[in-house]
Amino acid sequence: MWSGVGLAVGISVATGVVVHTTVAELEGTAEMRAFAVIALSAVVVLTWMVFWMRTHARVIKGELQHSIDAAVSRGRGIWWAVILASFFAVLREGIEAALFLMAAATADSGTAVLIGGMIGLAIAIVAGYLVVLGGKRLPMSKFFRVTGVMLIVFAAGLLSRSVLFLQTAGDLGSLWDSVYDLNAHTWLTIESEFGLFLTAMVGWDTRPSIEQVVVHLGYLLTVGYLFLRRPKATGTAPRGRQAAAETGRD
């Protein structure tokens, strides 16, 4: 299994390096457009991920265990089956992580993003270990709800920055290019570590356009509401309980 995980991690890192090197060679308008594409791609993947987590939070450990058990039950090729399953699972997540980190690094805080990525990797390893060994006691639903909200906040910031990149490239105009201006406060700008952190994590801008503000708040409120709302109750469960009760009375 670990050989599949290691190979997937290596390919993910290589993918990130290749894309980062390619983008680093761009300048001016081409660079801004590339940043916009990366940010928008990350927003799409993040949005899909948070709703996938919302749907599968309660069954993710069971599905993982079922996949492993199915591979074991085949007998022949057991190790290859497990290796391939771990390879494709980690590869998908690894490429997504590389995309997210590159999108965050568009705030010119590459070192901080790298450190944050390493910390996140360490936390993910610990969380995965807990899921495998004691997943029944780990509140997966609450865990994915908290991480989902964090990803939504991050995605809203990326969407806002993608608007900024397109406006800087001249591909998108603005009706109001300065809703407020806080550049006088240096500690809030990218000249400070705190400002860099806010920019990378939540898409903070000390001088945003009206389009950035509308897109940021619109995504945050809409997607946040859809993610946090309770699923509509269906009549299946009550009918099932009623049938069981009637059977018991008989």
What is the reported pLDDT for 56? Answer: 65
- What does the pLDDT read at residue 240? 44
pLDDT at residue number 220: 93
pLDDT at 242: 47
Instruction: Decide if 229 contacts 150 (C-beta within 8 A).
Output: no
Give the mean model confidence (pLDDT) for residues 167-192: 85
**23-27, 55-59, 78-82, 97-101 — which is least confidently predicted?**
78-82
Answer with the residue of higher pLDDT: 14 or 168.
168
Query: In angstroms, rounded to a whole number, what is the distance separating the alpha carbons of residues 206 and 161?
Result: 12
Across the range 41-59, mean pLDDT stands at 77
Burial class (CB in 10 A: 0-12, 13-18, 19+), 67: middle
Q: Average pLDDT, stretch 111-122? A: 63
Rounded CA Rg of the chain = 22
- Specify whether the CB–CB gap between 37 and 30 falls below 8 A: no
| Mean pLDDT of all residues in 105-119 | 60
At residue 217, the pLDDT reads 94
Helix (H) or strand (E) holding 29: helix 28-56
* Domain locations in the chain as residue ranges: 2-230
Q: Which tokens belong to 50? A: 């948070």
Most confident of the ranges 91-95, 126-130, 212-216: 212-216
CA atoms in the 13 A half-sphere facing the CB of 105: 22
More confident residue, 205 or 111: 205
Percent of residues, the chain, with pLDDT higher than 90: 10
**For position 33, what pLDDT does the model report?**
86
DSSP code per residue over the chain: -HHHHHHHHHHHHHHHHHHHHHHHT--HHHHHHHHHHHHHHHHHHHHHHHHHHHHHTTTHHHHHHHHHHHHHHT-TTHHHHHHHHHHHHHHHHHHHHHHHHHHHGGGS-HHHHHHHHHHHHHHHHHHHHHHHHHTTTS-HHHHHHHHHHHHHHHHHHHHHHHHHHHHHHTSS--S-S-S---TT-GGGSTTSHHHHHHHHHH---SS--HHHHHHHHHHHHHHHHHHHSPPPP-SHHHHHHHHHHHHHH-
Tell me the torsion sign for CA atoms 145, 233, 135, 99: negative
What is residue 181's predicted lDDT score, i.e. its pLDDT? Answer: 85
51: nearest Cα among 237, 231, 234: 231
User: pLDDT at position 85, please?
Assistant: 53
